[in-house]
Structure 1
Amino acid sequence: MARYKMLVLSRPTEGCEDEYNDWYQNTHLAQIISLPGFIAAERYELAVNMLGEGAYPYIAIYEIETDDVQSAFAALQDAAGDGSIVMSPAFDTASVYASIYAPLGERISRS
């Protein structure tokens, strides 16, 4: 079965950081991994901005395992459209970046 990563770079609505983090960690991640093909999720916050301005303060990385990534994406779109995924007003939807990536080459690690 093929594996993918979905990256979501986002920021909270101005003044709503606590609400954003609570909703994302305690509601949203579980809603996403309940969808077909989505098997795990993890969040990170910006530790060091290495280049440029306007770095996203948060990233979520979702693991997808499926032989049909388009159907996993369709399930996500359907859930967003039918209200199965509850979005928080603390999530700044105007600035979010989200994409699904396929592995390219073998994973390299230090021995």
Structure 2
Amino acid sequence: MVVRTNPVDGRENEFNTWYSDQHVPEILSVPGFVGARRYVALDEPAAGSGDSDFRYLAIYEIEGPVPEALAALGAAGITPGPAMDERTSIAFYSSFPPATP
């Protein structure tokens, strides 16, 4: 699961503390979520790249059936922190070549 986010203007330190110290551990306590890694853009993304709206990227590794992990995540009731901008992009990827059932 790939999540792209931003902090609320002027609250970047609070956002990073919350994300690293609270949010990632919450997500990793959900069955099926087994790994997480966060990234921040080093430079402003190139205009027209489609990524220019987000500076932060988190990649969560899911083990097992994705629908089950997402159901568990929804049931966990995890909420965004107050320093996280409400605009978020979430996408799901499979390893390549995609695993067959």
Same fold (TM over 0.5): yes
Contact 1:49/1:55 (8 A) holds in 2 = no
Q: Equivalent residue for 2:80?
A: 87
What is the count of residue pairs matched by the alignment? 95
> Structure 2 matches for 1:18-97, cutoff 5 A?
18-52=13-47, 54-66=52-64, 68-80=65-77, 85-93=78-86, 95-97=87-89
Q: Which runs of 5+ in 1 are unaligned?
A: 1-5, 107-111
C-alpha deviation, 1:79, in angstroms: 1.5
Q: SS of the residue aligned with 1:51?
A: coil
Q: Which has the higher strand share?
A: 1
- Of residues 95-104 and 20-29 in structure 1, the stretch that sits farther from structure 2 once superposed is 95-104
Q: Partners in 2 of 1:89 and 1:75 — Cα distance?
A: 23
C-alpha deviation, 1:55, in angstroms: 4.0
Q: Percent identity?
A: 38
Q: Equivalent residue for 2:91?
A: 99
Q: 1:90 corresponds to which letter in structure 2? A: A
The answer as to 2:9 corresponding to 1:10 is no
C-alpha deviation, 1:14, in angstroms: 1.3
Q: Which runs of 5+ in 2 are unaligned?
A: none
Q: Partners in 2 of 1:15 and 1:36 — Cα distance?
A: 34
RMSD of Structure 2 on Structure 1 (CA): 1.7
Moved over 3 A (4+): none
C-alpha deviation, 1:48, in angstroms: 3.5
